[in-house]
Structure formats: C-alpha cells, structure tokens
C-alpha cells in the first residue's frame, strides 16, 4: 500500500472512512513509522493550540538597545571596583538601633556612574530580590537603556539582565549568598566582587572605598 | 512640523522573509533590524515557555532577557543557524527548570528523589510539543484570512462552531465549508513543512 496522504489521514481521524478502508489504513499504520508520525502531526494540527504571549515591547526595546551598544563596545574593557558611598544598615547601626530593617540599600559610585542597589526578601521563601538603578552623573549619548548586567552566584552560575530606559534592573529569586555583580558599559565595566544577598548582617560590603 | 515617515523605520519585507540561517548571520553581524525580525519571529516562543512552566510574568521577563543575551553573546554552541528555533526552546527550558528547582527547593527537599524526577518530567512532557505548536501558529499566520478564520473556528475554539454558524460568519455557502477546510488544512501542512525546512519567515 502507498503512504497515506493528508486528506486520507484527516478522514481517518474524523472517522469518515468505510470500515474496509479503515482496516487497510490501520494495517498500513502498524507497519509504517512515517505515516504514524504524519498522523500524529495531523492530530496536532487539529488540536487546540495554546496561546503564545508576546513579550512586552519595553523588553524588546532593551534587547535592541543592547544590540546597538554592542556595536560600539570595546573588546578590551578595564574593570573597576566602585566605592561604597552609602549602606543603610551601617547607618542604622550608627544610630544605635538594634537589629536591622529587612531592606538593605547600598549606593556605589565609579567615575561618571552611580549604582543604587536594594536587597529585599522575595515572596518565594528563602529567596531575595536584587533591584537597582544605574545613574549617570553626566549625560550619556547612548542613554541608560540596554546596559548589560551579569550576576554570578557562588557556584559560578551566571544570570543576565538589561537596564530599562531609566537604568533600572531587577533579579528575583536569588538564593542567600555572596554574588558578583558586573555592569557592562561601552568602554569599561563596574564589578562588585562580593555582594552579600541576605537579610543577616555579615559585616560591611567590601569595596575599594 | 513635518510628519515622520514611518516607512523609513519599518522592517523591510525582504528581511522579514529571510530564512533563519540568513537572519541569524545578520544578527551575529550586529544588524539591529535583523534582531527586530528575529524577536518578532521568536519572541512569543521564548516568552511563552516560562509561562507554560507556571512561572510568573516577572520571571518570564528575566528569562527572556537572559536568553536574548545568551544568543547575543553567541554562547552555548549554536553552530547551525537553521536550528535557532530548537536552540531557543532548549535554552529557555533549561533556564526555566533551573528557576523551578530554586523555587521549589524547600518542597523538593521533602520529596523522595523519584517523585522529584517525575514532577519535573511531567512539566517537561507538556513542553515537548511546544516547538511543533509554535510551528502551527507561524504557519497559520501565512494563510489567507479565510483559511485562518475557518481553521480557528473549526479546530481551536471550544466548543467548535457548527458548519452553519461558520458559513454565516465567513459569508460562504455551507456546502463549501467541508472542502475549504480540507484545502486550508493542506495549505497549513505545506507551510509547516516549508517552515520546518527553512526556519522562519512569515
């Protein structure tokens, strides 16, 4: 028997074949892996197709901004450690308060940029959110959108993210631990080698300040 | 004040019709327009996978950025550009599983190992068809409006509409619904084969 054609398979699925035709088709399908695959495909064609959701236009904009930035990005970029300018927890302790608020706010600066970082508990138990903003002290021709960030956990597993038009970024569901955060600009990188993500005090953040 | 000419910024039809291999070559060369076409073609696929895994939109946002940056970096051994769709599905799925493991760590720690494996494979098996499903979705968009509406009404609506209701909605004789439906399904099948061989392109 020849392979079952498309129309025949549709009729087979819809129960539209005479008994003898159906028996012949069954016998062929039992022996022919190609036709079984095609039958499965036709079944799927007729099946319910789930919805596909478009990503927000703003996210697509960030990726396209990153593509633009890459064009002018230097292959060899110097890496700088920023200076810590503010830590809400050390301020809190200096005021003589006991314990610490759940949110920790840190402000770093390096050259023309400031880096604002907030660490809070996530809704997921035992996890944290790290959100922040890249701030520029002088206007940047390429703006602040599409700056690449990389956060690497203690096992060396990286996650990547991009800033929005205002330079904001966010990483959710981070496990408690010490991370490295890398902010990649066109001509240099800012690297925080030991960023503690926790709600427990483990000493001041180590930077070059 | 002059009215901006939006034709200048629109994606050229020629590039939108490129196959995946040609498009990826332009993307690797840093062509922003090629990236816009690629994200138009596969953005929904990347973004939908985390949602199918039951992850929240905020996590889908992060995974979308991560996958795009991996592609931009040219990492993870994508050597054959014609396989970009399969590559995107594999990489996105891997990032989703990593997230699920983190999210469910406390729960998973209490489960016997075999139950952990079966829970994960149940989610994975739901996703095995997603690439094929997306292909149907893309192929459907290449068909005429009549074919698209007919196939959606017959097969994707629940419960499916009657031939009478479809004939009335599409303004065609009720006797032509059956033959038209077969012709449209055949076209859909052809478009799927073409997409399968060439990669994307509307």
Q: Which of B32, B47, B62 sits opposite A54 (nearest CB)?
A: B47
E runs forming strands in B4-151? none
pLDDT at A150: 96
**Which residues sit opposite A130 in a β-bridge?**
A119, A171
How far is residue A164 from each of residues A48, A54, A61, A145, B131, measured CA to CA in Å?
A: 36, 18, 8, 5, 30
Confidence tier at B6 by pLDDT (50, 70, 90): very low
Plot region of A143 (φ>0 → left; ψ -120 to 50 → alpha; else → beta): left
Average pLDDT over residues B7-20: 69
- Report the pLDDT value the prediction gives residue B193, as an integer from 0 to 100: 84
Domain ranges of chain B: 1-128, 129-202
Angle at A109 between CA A105 and CA A113, to 5 degrees: 115
Domain architecture of chain A: domains with CATH? 6-46 (no CATH), 57-197 (2.60.40.10)
Residue A140's pLDDT is: 76
Which chain A residues touch B133 with a CB distance below 8 Å?
44, 49-50
Given an 8 Å threshold on Cβ–Cβ distance, is B68 in contact with A53? no
Residue B74 or B145, more confident:
B145
Spatial distance between the Cα atoms of A157 and B95, rounded to a whole number of angstroms: 11
Structure tokens at B125: 């098996």
Among 1.10.4080.10, 1.10.3720.10, 3.40.710.10, 1.10.10.10, what is the CATH number of B129-202?
A: 1.10.10.10
Among the partner-chain residues A10, A53, A70, the one whose CB lies closest to the CB of B44 is A53
Contact A29, B121 (CB under 8 A): no
The pLDDT score that the predictor gives to residue B163 is 86
Average pLDDT, chain B: 80
SS (H, E, C) A92-144: HHHCCCCCCCCCEEEEEEECCEEEEEEEEECCCCCEEEEEEEEEECCCCCCCC
In Å, how far is A175's CA from the nearest CA of chain B? 8
- Pick from B153, B154, B135, B152: nearest CA to B202: B135
Averaged pLDDT in 10-residue chunks for chain A of 209 residues? 79 80 87 85 66 91 95 87 88 60 88 93 90 87 91 94 96 94 93 90 69
Predicted local distance difference test score (pLDDT) of residue A88: 87
Chain A / chain B CB contacts < 8 angstroms: 118
- Determine the pLDDT at residue B134: 85
Given a contact cutoff of 8 angstroms between Cβ atoms, the answer to whether A39 and A12 are in contact is yes
pLDDT at B201: 53
Q: Which two tokens stand for residue B57?
A: 């939109």
- The CA distances from residue A189 to B7, B56, B123, in Å, are 37, 31, 39
Q: Alpha helix locations (H) across chain A?
A: 6-13, 19-31, 33-46, 57-72, 88-94
Between helix B130-141 and helix B32-52 the angle, nearest 10°, is: 130
């Amino acid at each position: 028997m020849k392979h079952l054609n498309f129309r025949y398979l549709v009729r087979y699925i819809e129960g539209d074949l005479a008994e003898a035709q159906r028996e012949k088709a069954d016998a062929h399908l039992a022996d022919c892996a190609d036709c079984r695959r095609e039958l499965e495909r036709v079944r799927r064609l007729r099946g319910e197709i789930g919805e596909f959701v478009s990503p927000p236009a703003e996210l697509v904009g960030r990726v396209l901004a990153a593509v633009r930035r890459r064009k002018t990005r230097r292959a060899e970029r110097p890496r700088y450690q920023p200076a810590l300018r503010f830590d809400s927890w050390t301020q809190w302790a200096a005021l003589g308060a006991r314990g610490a608020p759940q949110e920790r706010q840190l402000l770093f600066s390096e050259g023309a940029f400031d880096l604002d970082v907030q660490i809070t508990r996530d809704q997921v138990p035992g996890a944290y959110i790290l959100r922040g903003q890249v701030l520029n002290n002088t206007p940047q021709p390429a703006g602040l959108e599409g700056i690449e960030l990389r956060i690497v956990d203690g096992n060396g597993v990286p996650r990547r993210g991009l800033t929005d038009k205002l330079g904001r970024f966010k990483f959710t569901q981070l496990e408690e631990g010490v991370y490295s955060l890398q902010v990649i600009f066109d001509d240099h990188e800012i690297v925080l080698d030991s960023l503690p993500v926790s709600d427990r005090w483990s000493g001041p953040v180590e930077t070059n300040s | 004040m002059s009215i901006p000419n939006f034709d200048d910024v629109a994606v050229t039809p020629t590039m939108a019709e490129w196959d995946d291999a040609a498009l990826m070559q332009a993307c690797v060369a840093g062509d922003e327009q090629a990236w816009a076409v690629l994200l138009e073609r596969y953005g929904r696929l990347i973004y939908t996978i985390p949602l199918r895994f039951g992850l929240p939109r905020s996590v889908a946002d992060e995974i979308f950025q991560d996958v795009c940056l991996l592609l931009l970096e040219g990492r993870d051994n994508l050597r054959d550009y014609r396989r970009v769709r399969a590559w995107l599905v594999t990489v996105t799925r891997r990032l989703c599983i990593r997230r699920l493991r983190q999210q469910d760590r406390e729960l998973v720690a209490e489960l016997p190992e075999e139950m952990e494996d079966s829970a994960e494979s149940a989610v994975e098996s739901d996703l095995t068809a997603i690439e094929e499903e997306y292909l149907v979705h893309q192929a459907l968009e290449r068909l005429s409006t009549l074919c698209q509406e007919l196939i959606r009404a017959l097969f994707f609506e629940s419960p499916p509409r009657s031939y009478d209701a479809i004939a009335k909605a599409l303004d065609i004789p009720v006797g032509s619904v059956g033959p038209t439906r077969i012709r449209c399904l055949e076209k859909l099948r052809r478009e799927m084969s073409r997409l399968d061989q060439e990669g994307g392109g509307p």
